[in-house]
Amino acid sequence: MARVLIVHASKRGGTSEIAESIGRRLSERGAAVDVVPANRAHRFRDYDAVVVGSALYGGRWRHAAVRALRKLTHLSQPPPVWLFHSGPLDELANEPQPLPGRVFDLAHDLGDPQVTTFGGRLAPDTHGFIAKAMVRNGKAGDWRDQGAISAFADEIADSLVPTP
């Protein structure tokens, strides 16, 4: 049974929910999964694979997710890594978004793992100046595609867990 660590960094909880969905799907496929916030991630070498996800704000990853990636690059033999980010709140919700510069460099150091973009979620009653402005501009709603999230998890499972 493959052991998978899913590390996430979220601001408003939507990315955490994606990480939990990926974890559930991988568990259904036979993997032993731990889902943890990026600021509590450690002992990467105890896992057969690592998934790192971050909320994407203004084209940037959350600092905790970047730190987790940096820790992975310091391993002499890092496990296979998959990356995802979430955040677009419009028709581009599931279109590939580029990795921020530093994240791109760290990903390259890890062998250029697959990167997947998922739409984000913005509650209509959210707080914060920028978030409220986004709500006024019609960006509120849940732009996440559960089918795409499951497909991403299935790709990981297919590479790690033999299908019966």
Mean pLDDT by 10 residues, the chain (164 residues): 95 92 97 96 93 91 97 95 88 83 95 91 69 64 86 95 53
| Residue 52, phi then psi, degrees to nearest 5 | -120, 125
Are 53 and 19 contacting, i.e. CB atoms less than 8 angstroms apart? Answer: yes
pLDDT at 48: 95
Cross-strand bridge partners of residue 4: 33, 49
Number of separate domains in the chain:
1
> 111: domain range?
3-160
pLDDT at 102: 94
Cross-strand bridge partners of residue 33: 4
The residues, any chain, with a CB within 8 Å of residue 16's CB and separated by 6 or more, are 8, 10, 37
pLDDT at 2: 93
The whole model's pTM is what? 0.89
pLDDT at 136: 66
Q: Kindly report the CATH number assigned to the domain that includes residue 55.
A: 3.40.50.360
pLDDT at 113: 92
